[in-house]
Amino acid sequence: MIEAKGLTKRYGNTVAVDNLSFEVKPGKVTGFLGPNGAGKSTTMRMILGLDTPTSGDVRIDGQHYSDLKQPLSKVGALLDAKWVHPNRSARAHLSWMAASNKLPKTRVDQVLEAVGLTEVAGKRAGAFSLGMSQRLGIAGALLGDPEILLFDEPVNGLDPEGIVWIRKFMHRLADEGRTVFVSSHLLSEMALTAEELVVIGRGRLISQTSTKNFVDNASGSSIKVRSPQLDQLQSLLQQRDLVTRIEDVEDEGKVLFVDGEVTTDSIGEAAAEQGIVLHELSLQRGSLEAAFMQMTGDSVQYHAHDSELAPPLAAAEVVVAEEEKN
């Protein structure tokens, strides 16, 4: 488990991380979500002892990273995938990492296999695509067979196949009981990858909750009703203390929205009791992006690219297999 308490980091006048407290538990993928510049990388660096907190504390299973006896066997991290000597082969890079951390050489082939790089293990890492470099970085993080894994923006710049691969791999690591903490500025991606979220904005904790809760609470939901007897339906629902509004919707005319804790079932039944005709009765969810912007309250523009959505897995794997052959 990772536990941060009042974690704060200042660089001169910049407060990169501001009194941040959160917990990351095993057996799940926890997303570390925030707009660019929110303080995610700084927090990850503090977890790994690469930056010293100005105040506060972060511990791994109760210990500071610097006090861990065999750090790579406890925590693996991917911070920068391009951190590899370009002329070294993938196998040579991992062998060097294993030797310098007193890890058994047999792990090298195991982790190459785990990330699907066995066939290109002898190739120069400098010639790797970003997707392959990310896999190599993940292989390095797995060398010590750690219980805890940190990944800083692992899908940044990847094509859809690479994104799907990383997502599946993280789920696998969590299913093995590991603690997986992954940062991203993409809510649409985290919604598919993470079960839990630690959401930050401008260095501060905004929310720590399940992904489902975050989206439900932030974006809210309402029920949309189209009916030729809207006014009659509205007064009926108001009598039942429901919050309603009638809006003019383009191409649809007048539409009734019911907000708050209410179900489509109860509205349908109420309408039926009074013989009110319904043309539409549907649950409207706020978008993930809207939730994110609302919660972080940040002016950073968020772009959801359709291309970042997952293609079917089978197709993705075929492309990855092709990439490995080349």
Ligand X SMILES: Nc1ncnc2c1ncn2[C@@H]1O[C@H](COP(=O)(O)OP(=O)(O)OP(=O)(O)O)[C@@H](O)[C@H]1O
Residues near ligand X (CB under 6 A): 11, 14, 16, 34, 36-42, 185
Written as one string, the DSSP assignment of 276-305 is: ---SEEEEEEPPHHHHHHHHH---S-----
Q: Are 28 and 174 in contact (CB under 8 A)?
A: yes
* Minimum gap (Å) between residue 37 Cβ and ligand X: 4
Burial of residue 73, with CB atoms counted within 10 A of its CB: 0-12 exposed, 13-18 middle, 19 or more buried: middle
- Quick one: how far is CA 95 from the chain centroid? 31
* Minimum gap (Å) between residue 107 Cβ and ligand X: 30
* Minimum gap (Å) between residue 44 Cβ and ligand X: 8
Helix (H) or strand (E) holding 188: helix 187-193
* Minimum gap (Å) between residue 203 Cβ and ligand X: 7
Nearer to ligand X, 42 or 207 (CB): 42
Helix (H) or strand (E) holding 60: strand 55-60
Nearer to ligand X, 42 or 222 (CB): 42
Give every CB contact of residue 112 below 8 A, 6+ residues apart in sequence: 90, 91, 94, 118, 121, 139
Nearer to ligand X, 39 or 162 (CB): 39
First CA to last CA distance, the chain: 40
Nearer to ligand X, 26 or 37 (CB): 37
* Minimum gap (Å) between residue 11 Cβ and ligand X: 3
Q: Are 39 and 205 in contact (CB under 8 A)?
A: no
Q: Are 8 and 175 in contact (CB under 8 A)?
A: no
Q: Are 15 and 7 in contact (CB under 8 A)?
A: no
Nearer to ligand X, 227 or 296 (CB): 296
Q: Which residues pair with 245 in a beta bridge?
A: 257
Nearer to ligand X, 108 or 149 (CB): 149
Q: Which of 16, 15, 18 shows the shortest CA–CA distance to 6?
A: 18
Nearer to ligand X, 11 or 96 (CB): 11
* Minimum gap (Å) between residue 290 Cβ and ligand X: 21
CA–CA dist 3, 26 (Å, integer): 12
* Minimum gap (Å) between residue 183 Cβ and ligand X: 7
* Minimum gap (Å) between residue 39 Cβ and ligand X: 4
Nearer to ligand X, 39 or 116 (CB): 39
